Structure formats: C-alpha cells, structure tokens
Amino acid sequence: MKASSTTSRNYLKDISKNMALVKKKILPITGLEIGGIPASILVCGDPARATKTASQMQNAELLSEHREYRVYRGLYDGLPVAVCSHGVGAAGAAIAFEELIAAGARRLIRIGTCGGLQPHVRDGQLVIATAAVNTTGYGRQVAPAGYPALADWKLVQALMLAAGAGGPAHTAGIVLTTDHFYGGVETFETPHYPTMAAANVLAVEMECAALFVVGSLRGVQTAAILAVDGNVLEEGESMEAYDPHRLIVQGAVEAEIEIALKALVMVSDE
C-alpha cells in the first residue's frame, strides 16, 4: 500500500511538472522556451565552441543545456544574439535548428569546420558556403528529391563583407554535406571526393545542407562560415591524420566567430 502511495505521488509530481512545462511552452529536446531567444543566432557543433562564442558577448547567460545542445544568450554590439551547439551530423543538428526557429530564431549562421576538397583550400582558411550538395539521409526524408540546399544571399553577402579584404584568407562557394566522417565500404551512395572536387565543390562537412533546407522550409535566413581543418583529398579521413586542435585551426575558428557576429549586426541594421 505504501509503495503504491509513493508511486501515485511521484506520478502526480511528474504530471504537475509536465503541465508547468506546457504552460511555459518549453520545447522538448533543447529545453528552450518559445519566445525566449532573439532572432539572430549562431550555431556550431561543439558545445565548447558555444561557450567560446558566448565569451565574445556582453551579459551572456546560459539558457539551456540538454544533450549536445548548449544555448547562451547575450548582446553583441548592442544586438541581442544567441549561440547554440548542435552536435555532429545532419539529423541531430536539424532538431536544434527546428526548435531554435520555433523559439524565435529568424536568421542562423553556422560557425563550423570543414575539410578542403580543392588544392587551394588549406588549413586555417575560411569557407563561406553559398550552397551545399545534400547527400544526407535526413535531407532525403524531409524534402522532395532535388530540393536545393541554398544559403541566404543576404547573409552570404554580409559574411563576405565582414570577412573583408584585409581579413583571414577566405573563399565562397559550394560545400558537400555528408553523413559519414570516417570512411567505410564505398557504395553507390558514397560521395566520391575527386568527382566533387572536379565539380568545383570547395569542402566537405556534415550539417550545412540540413541548415539550409530547414531555413528554406521554414522561411528563415541561413548561412555558414567554416574553418578549414585539413584537406581530405591529400590526407583522407582517419583518426591518425585528423587533428582539429592545432593553433592554425583554432585561430580560424576565433576569426569566424567574430566575422559571423559582425555579419548578424550588419543584417539587423538593414
């Protein structure tokens, strides 16, 4: 009888907690409150990069931390901004993008890393993605075949202007978004890097296509700026070769954070 009574009380507590969350309109995966974030957002894979980005904001506060999703809100040059980590891969990242939009986001810029697919795309440089070749399973399930994954041209232009002629080496163009990081057995669906390079694709990464597709589906602005942390045509993808923690890469990450924040201010001032 006592055990049954305890179970009933716990059940009622859970019901009460869930009702409170519904009343506050808390989103289920990120824990964000609808209306609780600003319109201008940076997104990144690594939660530590979200913390690094928050250090560039004024009055930064941690809003939410669930699973791989760490969210801060603050000010940059007077503009309310937020940053959210989304983890690795399109499907999990898309959950963050969807809930950020539901919570109030209207423009999202990804600050990530990528592997070069062209000889001139080298460590420490920046790639501003204008579009993504979408080879993800996520992309095939949420949009019709052939649906384009395009960045918003105003955000791309703002990133180019913020990067500036005197800033770090940067280039703009198409990137490849794929689901795999370490290679397996090659199949007919495996992106062939030399073919992508011949088609003038600049770099490979894992989330841009999801961001751009979600942006188009939901009617919000999206873009991405990526720090190059290796060249997959030369080095392949292996645990032995890959090292994203080198100083040249960290310098590029710091540069892209500043550029993306400045781009958000530019667009908000229009």
Worst-scoring range by mean pLDDT, 87-91, 112-116, 208-212, 265-269? Answer: 265-269
pLDDT at position 214 is: 98
pLDDT band at residue 1, thresholds of 50, 70 and 90? Answer: very low
- Dihedral in degrees, nearest 10, Cα atoms 175, 181, 187, 189: -40
Q: Average pLDDT over the chain, rounded to whole?
A: 90
86 and 107 Cβ atoms separated by less than 8 Å: no
For residues 90 and 209, is the Cβ–Cβ distance under 8 A?
yes
Distance of CA 159 to the CA centre of its chain: 15
CATH number, domain of 153, equals 3.40.50.1580
Residue whose C-alpha is closest to residue 246's, from 224, 228, 220, 258: 228
Task: State the pLDDT at residue 18.
Answer: 54
228-262 per-position pLDDT tens digit: 999 988 877 777 778 888 999 999 999 999 999 99
* Type of residue numbered 199: A
For residue 158, the Cα-to-chain-centroid distance in whole angstroms is 17
Phi/psi for 196 (5° steps) reads -60, -40
Residue 89's domain comprises 2-269
pLDDT of the residue at 5:
57
The pLDDT tens digits for 119-138 are 999 999 999 999 999 999 99
Helix axis angle, 47-54 to 247-269, nearest 10°: 60
- How many domains would you assign to the chain? 1
Which of left, alpha, beta for 97 (phi over 0: left; psi -120 to 50: alpha)?
Answer: alpha
At residue 23, the pLDDT reads: 58
Question: Mean pLDDT across the stretch 93-111?
Answer: 98
**What do you get for the CA distance between the two ends of the chain, in Å?**
66
Residue in this structure with the two tokens 């791309």, named with its chain if needed: 156
Q: Are the beta carbons of 126 and 169 closer than 8 angstroms?
A: yes
Query: For the chain, how long is the longest CA-to-CA vector?
Result: 75
Q: Which residue spans within 102-182 are E strands per DSSP?
A: 107-116, 126-134, 149-150, 170-177
CA 236 to chain centre: 23
User: In degrees to the nearest 10, what's the CA dihedral of 36, 41, 45, 46?
Assistant: -70
Cβ–Cβ < 8 Å for 92, 86: yes
Closest CA to 228 of 204, 209, 206: 204
Predicted confidence (pLDDT) per residue in 16-46, tens digit: 555 554 556 899 999 999 999 999 999 999 9
Write out pLDDT tens, residues 50-86. Answer: 999 999 999 999 999 999 999 999 999 999 999 999 9
Specify whether the backbone of 145 is left (phi greater than 0), alpha (psi in -120 to 50) or beta. beta
Nearest to 151 by CA among 226, 233, 83, 89: 226
Question: What totals of helices (H) and strands (E) does the chain contain, helices first?
Answer: 9, 10
pTM of the model: 0.89
